[in-house]
Structure 1
Amino acid sequence: MNKKSILEILRNFKFPSKNEINKSLQSFQEKDWLVVAILLLIMVASTVVIISKINKHIATVIPADGGSITEGIVGTPRFVNPVLALSGPDKDLTKLVYSGLTRKNNSNEFIPDLAENYEISDDGLTYTFTLKDGVTFHDGTQVTAEDILFTIDRIQDPLLKSPERVSWEGVSAEQIDRKTVKFVLKQPYISFLDNTTLGILPSHIWSNIPTEQFSFSDYNLKAVGSGPYKVSSIQKKNSGVIESFELKSFRNFSLGKPYVDSINLVFFSNESNLTRALDNGSIDAAHALTPSYVADNNFKPETVVTAPLARTFSLFFNKNKNPIFQDQKLVEALELAIDKQTIISLVLSGFGSTVDSPIPKNIAEFQTLEAAESEKSFKERQVEAEEKLDKLGWKKNKNGIREKNGKELSFSISTGNAFELQQAAEIIREYYSLIGIQVDLKVFEIGNLNQNIIRARNYEVLFFGQIVSKEADLYAFWHSSQISDPGLNIAMYANNSVDKILESLIKEKPTLERFKLYANLKKEMDKDKPAIFVYSPNFIYITPKEVQNISYKTIVDNSDRFNMVHTWYIHTDTVWNVFLQKS
């Protein structure tokens, strides 16, 4: 058929008239209608599938605004104030309501929050921050450098006794202009950026409140910050005790309006009441739960969020109280004799990880330098422990207790009456009993343990935990200058090489050189065996399955779970890519 014929056909083509169509339809029989219906269904289904496939290629699912979370917390807030916050509930609310110059993301990296940017001088002594344009407090007042200086001034006021004061000692703050502030340190301090995550107070509210009235102000509860959420309402029981806080998303938050519209925090007097509320559905989120409760309740995997905590539980040896611990070969045998993974299974229901150094996983880069764990089974390690003790002259007597030169191999382990501490210490005692070591377990109330046992260094072996919230904390725990109270070197460890490494770590910038220092630190401490590092527990967070984008590399403080709360979302939208790119 040539081009002329086609044109002729098109010229003579006529659409059927309405009457012609009606006549045709009236002539349809039942089977004809069935065929038409089937063809229409096929056409509709095909169209839907085609559109769906096209949509997948040209559209993206993105977070959308909406929804709420109701979380239970044990305790009662008193100071929703970054200068005074001390308890868990205080810190949780402060993290939600206030913003700092910087904020840590889920990988523990510092990102600008109120600050647009910051610069660090080559000598590590000067930090200069420039604020973003248009950042405001919840009442609409602009955040300025004056608010930064006011907050630091309040912290450094000795009459206020701020728990943050020690972190800001020796730091001078200077306002360059309305948007710029400069901090000058007396000496380089690797963890100074941690200070800058501190929430900023609105000076236009707090400057009118005398220091002696600071802790009594209503603004300690009716807080006004610049964080991702603002206080909407506070509910109290008839007794006046706070029952709950309702928080609403803050549209002008420096990192963008949070997707989740509201967060409700409900407070409980104890964990039993909290877990009862979680079981009956009156709350849908909770943290710091007993591992056994989480394991026994078979929560759906998508509702259980875990991350390593910056806490290390260890056996610390006091060589002054019992000189047998000066023999590092003996301590090596003691480490081989305990099954750390079994302790984690029994005490933490598997929510933890074994450790072999004082450096927690929140110093993430160092982990790549650690050697792989031994492939030996526990039974093999136990046999090796017995062989070591035999070679050291500690032989089993007729009672099955090891002795040397007529002296039995025995010592005491002191610990606190917290369930996990006591249970772990009892398991460790049993492991030592299996190889002929006599251990006396001494359990103390936590306050008594801290005041009369730890501070007085009145123990042979101490089973306890250390919280390494920032890199500089390692200095406080292991430098020889910290051996005596109020220092925190509870192993009373002294090593000149380790001291020099720790001194360098405080000043060294984040470079490969610093990671090598960590490797050397571990190597030196492995030689001396001042402690046996047993385990690091996990942070456990039960969340609604609908809430997305909750993940953590590590958790230092429980309140860190809210670091990136503004990125959580419940609802989603589907947007064509062309509009997404334009936006």
Structure 2
Amino acid sequence: MLKKIARRTSFLRSLSTNHWRHLLRNLSEKEINWVLFWLGLAALSALFLSGYDYWILRSPAPAEGGAYTEGLMGEPRYLNPAISSASEVDRDITTLVFSGLVKHDKSGRIVPDLAASYEIKDGGKTYEFTLRENLTWPDKKPFTADDVVFTINLIKDPKYQSPLRNNWQGVRVEKIDDRRLTMKLPVQYEPFLENATVGVLPQHLWSGVQPQNFLLTQLNLKPVGLGQYTLTKITKNASGLIRSMEFSPNSRYYEKANISRLILRFYETQENIVNAYKRREIDGFSLSSVLEKDLLATARDVEFYNIKLPRYFAIFFNQSKSDKLTELAVRQALSQAVDRDFIVKEILKNEAEPQRGPFPFGLLEIGEPKINPEYDPEKAGAALGKAGWKIGSDGFREKKLKNAKSATRLEFVLTTTDWPELTQVASALKSDWEKIGVKVNLDVVPVNAIQNQTIRPRQYEALLFGEVLGLNPDPFSFWHSTQRKDPGLNLALYSNKKADGLLETSRQASDPEDRVKKYQSLQEIIMQDAPAVFLYSPNYIYAVSGKINGLDLKAVNTPSQRFENINSWYIATKRIKSDK
């Protein structure tokens, strides 16, 4: 039938205008209707075949094009992977602009990035990397092993004060040739490849920057990397503050991104970001609190990605700043008096899980600790009374401490940031503790100041803050006694020789079961000493416009890792021949 139609339409096309006029004058009405019927049938057949090819034989696929705008709170300062880890904004941008030897895939596994491959030798103490061929920096200078060696040696050099320095102590990085290098560890370290995700700096641009100018150079705000995107435009306001940055796909990256324009807008408050989304100024942002989800109830075309991160929030006690908190009975009672279920259900709207110990639930199947501080304010109050802390005339507990002339009130300062979620949690903790006679004063520090003003100098008595362990956890920097001072992250200034030993040997354990057993033992020691009160492990919530496709955020270590596979995100589509 189709062949017949084709022959007839071919014949009709060959006729000239005069032929048509002559033919139509000599055709009867019935014959004209017959011709029109076949012409219509031919047109419908052509449309059918075209539609069948487009809609049935082809399937939608990502295409280049479109623009994505995201809102971030704060302002970029150090777009440099050697020093960016202290700021969420800086981490986000360096993840876009820079690449490391390896990265995480969508399932959270370590895979090659700038390295084409790697080998682990010498019982896990030597890593040999082979770089991808023909990679060049944006100024067309070749990328070589020299750039990697330079970056790691810079991080190791104490004059540059990199917060990543502890990750590389004792590691020797040696060039074999332009495409190969080795990293030699003093002892086996199972999670080492996590360190190799750090972005690589171009040696030819950074080698002339002296340590005293390292934080001042313009390269920190005009980053040059080998990541998925390249910075193309910076917009400032009248005061000179950066208000937005625009990026385009890096044509020299081995997998070109689909989204043609990426714009990051910077806001002073999270409230401004939420309002910007409602006004459709931005297409996505990270929620700082589950409370913001309710503010978007009327927003159209928004999708929420609820991601479980290997992180938790806790109260870390600085016993060197408060003699009351040096008493184990006090710290244990404070933990027992906290209503974690109330925090999770009422404040966090079930977007979190109660946290009982130093490892988020489900991580490596470590399990919950045997010493489990269940909520029991009556027992907590009784324990304080037994320890000599009696209710005074003002309703708060007090006792006479050693060498004190008069009774000392059981009182301390709880410090946290000005995130709405954390201020609400801090208020709930204050209420819980004052019910058992403990006086609590709140100190709320702006989020952009808490690192330098409070955490780095350890200027707090008790700190409500969060820690991120990673999918392949190494709690060494959080609990080892050598990490009590900055840049270490031992926020409780915890010191225990048995714990130190387990932290050291667990890093070298190649057998997963052995490693888990060491972590379980470590967990029990920490819980027995009670240097912190573990509260909850929250979901990371990412709000994105429905026009953005290709997001797969099931397994990420940190919020900034959402950008590690941004090259698979897309807005525009095309239809391609299906394999079926």
TM-score by length of 2: 0.78
On the 8 A contact 1:55/1:576 being kept in 2, the answer is no
**Correspondence 1:140-151 to 2 at 5 A:** 140-151=140-151
On the 8 A contact 2:357/2:523 being kept in 1, the answer is yes
Supply the distance in 1 between the matched residues of 2:487 and 2:529 (Cα, whole angstroms): 23
**1:25 aligned partner, one-letter code:** K
**1:137 aligned partner, one-letter code:** W
On the 8 A contact 1:455/1:486 being kept in 2, the answer is no
Q: Does 1:25 align with 2:30?
A: yes
The verdict on how the C-alpha distance between 1:302 and 1:508 changes in structure 2, with shifts beyond 3 A counting, is farther
The verdict on how the C-alpha distance between 1:302 and 1:523 changes in structure 2, with shifts beyond 3 A counting, is farther
Deviation at 1:129, TM superposition (A): 0.6
**1:502 aligned partner, one-letter code:** L
Counterpart for residue 547 of structure 2: 546
Counterpart for residue 575 of structure 2: 574
- Unaligned 5+ runs, structure 2: 1-10, 12-22, 402-406
On the 8 A contact 1:129/1:181 being kept in 2, the answer is yes
Counterpart for residue 177 of structure 2: 177
On the 8 A contact 1:401/1:409 being kept in 2, the answer is no
Deviation at 1:396, TM superposition (A): 11
Supply the distance in 2 between the matched residues of 1:222 and 1:390 (Cα, whole angstroms): 59
The verdict on how the C-alpha distance between 1:186 and 1:47 changes in structure 2, with shifts beyond 3 A counting, is same
Counterpart for residue 4 of structure 1: none
SS across alignment from 2:503: helix
**1:263 aligned partner, one-letter code:** L
**2:292 aligned partner, one-letter code:** Y
Supply the distance in 1 between the matched residues of 2:456 and 2:75 (Cα, whole angstroms): 29
Supply the distance in 2 between the matched residues of 1:206 and 1:404 (Cα, whole angstroms): 58
SS across alignment from 2:466: strand
Deviation at 1:439, TM superposition (A): 1.9
On the 8 A contact 1:317/1:325 being kept in 2, the answer is no
CA-to-partner distance for each residue in 1:185-242, whole Å, 9 max, x for gaps?
Answer: 2233334322211222222333355555554444333332211111222223344332
On the 8 A contact 1:67/1:260 being kept in 2, the answer is yes
CA-to-partner distance for each residue in 1:133-186, whole Å, 9 max, x for gaps?
Answer: 122222333211111122223333443333333333322211101100111222
On the 8 A contact 1:341/1:354 being kept in 2, the answer is yes
**1:429 aligned partner, one-letter code:** K
Q: Does 1:286 align with 2:254?
A: no
| Worse-matched range after superposition: 19-28 or 178-187 | 19-28
Supply the distance in 2 between the matched residues of 1:250 and 1:92 (Cα, whole angstroms): 16
SS across alignment from 1:303: strand
Supply the distance in 2 between the matched residues of 1:282 and 1:72 (Cα, whole angstroms): 9
Counterpart for residue 5 of structure 1: none
SS across alignment from 2:338: coil
**1:544 aligned partner, one-letter code:** S
The verdict on how the C-alpha distance between 1:511 and 1:473 changes in structure 2, with shifts beyond 3 A counting, is closer
On the 8 A contact 2:480/2:490 being kept in 1, the answer is yes
| Worse-matched range after superposition: 155-164 or 97-106 | 155-164
- Unaligned 5+ runs, structure 1: 1-14
**1:370 aligned partner, one-letter code:** G
Counterpart for residue 518 of structure 1: 519
Deviation at 1:27, TM superposition (A): 9.2
CA-to-partner distance for each residue in 1:422-471, whole Å, 9 max, x for gaps?
Answer: 4213212333455xx11211223547998789967974x65443343586
Q: Does 1:156 align with 2:156?
A: yes
**Correspondence 1:428-439 to 2 at 5 A:** 428-432=429-433, 437-439=436-438
CA-to-partner distance for each residue in 1:280-317, whole Å, 9 max, x for gaps?
Answer: 22222222544323322215685222323443222446
Counterpart for residue 355 of structure 1: 355
Supply the distance in 1 between the matched residues of 2:283 and 2:451 (Cα, whole angstroms): 36
Deviation at 1:542, TM superposition (A): 2.2
CA-to-partner distance for each residue in 1:405-431, whole Å, 9 max, x for gaps?
Answer: 999998435322524444213212333
Counterpart for residue 127 of structure 2: 127
Supply the distance in 1 between the matched residues of 2:167 and 2:468 (Cα, whole angstroms): 16
**Correspondence 1:270-419 to 2 at 5 A:** 270-298=269-297, 299=299, 302-316=302-316, 321-322=323-324, 326-327=328-329, 331=332, 335=335, 337-360=337-360, 365-366=363-364, 368-370=365-367, 386=378, 411-419=410-418
Supply the distance in 2 between the matched residues of 1:465 and 1:59 (Cα, whole angstroms): 48
CA-to-partner distance for each residue in 1:376-427, whole Å, 9 max, x for gaps?
Answer: xx9xx76x65368669986999999799999999843532252444421321
Q: How many residues align?
A: 542
On the 8 A contact 2:433/2:439 being kept in 1, the answer is no
Q: Does 1:257 align with 2:259?
A: no
SS across alignment from 1:548: coil
**1:284 aligned partner, one-letter code:** D
On the 8 A contact 2:171/2:185 being kept in 1, the answer is yes
Deviation at 1:357, TM superposition (A): 1.6
| Worse-matched range after superposition: 114-123 or 343-352 | 343-352
Counterpart for residue 533 of structure 2: 532
The verdict on how the C-alpha distance between 1:175 and 1:55 changes in structure 2, with shifts beyond 3 A counting, is same
The verdict on how the C-alpha distance between 1:510 and 1:252 changes in structure 2, with shifts beyond 3 A counting, is farther
**2:367 aligned partner, one-letter code:** E
The verdict on how the C-alpha distance between 1:68 and 1:372 changes in structure 2, with shifts beyond 3 A counting, is farther
Supply the distance in 1 between the matched residues of 2:493 and 2:132 (Cα, whole angstroms): 47
On the 8 A contact 2:334/2:380 being kept in 1, the answer is no
On the 8 A contact 2:105/2:565 being kept in 1, the answer is yes
**1:519 aligned partner, one-letter code:** Q
Counterpart for residue 196 of structure 2: 196
CA-to-partner distance for each residue in 1:219-277, whole Å, 9 max, x for gaps?
Answer: 333332211111222223344332322111123313x1111111011223333443332
The verdict on how the C-alpha distance between 1:452 and 1:534 changes in structure 2, with shifts beyond 3 A counting, is closer
On the 8 A contact 1:127/1:184 being kept in 2, the answer is yes
Identity %: 30
Q: Does 1:240 align with 2:240?
A: yes
The verdict on how the C-alpha distance between 1:212 and 1:74 changes in structure 2, with shifts beyond 3 A counting, is same
**2:107 aligned partner, one-letter code:** S
The verdict on how the C-alpha distance between 1:286 and 1:117 changes in structure 2, with shifts beyond 3 A counting, is same
| Worse-matched range after superposition: 112-121 or 90-99 | 90-99
**Correspondence 1:215-226 to 2 at 5 A:** 215-226=215-226
Supply the distance in 1 between the matched residues of 2:309 and 2:395 (Cα, whole angstroms): 38
**2:328 aligned partner, one-letter code:** Q
Counterpart for residue 82 of structure 1: 81
On the 8 A contact 1:415/1:422 being kept in 2, the answer is no
Counterpart for residue 7 of structure 1: none
Counterpart for residue 105 of structure 1: 105
The verdict on how the C-alpha distance between 1:444 and 1:503 changes in structure 2, with shifts beyond 3 A counting, is same
The verdict on how the C-alpha distance between 1:425 and 1:244 changes in structure 2, with shifts beyond 3 A counting, is closer
C-alpha root-mean-square deviation of aligned residues, in Å? 4.6
**2:499 aligned partner, one-letter code:** V
On the 8 A contact 2:494/2:531 being kept in 1, the answer is yes
SS across alignment from 2:204: helix
On the 8 A contact 1:202/1:224 being kept in 2, the answer is yes
Supply the distance in 2 between the matched residues of 1:73 and 1:449 (Cα, whole angstroms): 18
On the 8 A contact 1:295/1:349 being kept in 2, the answer is no
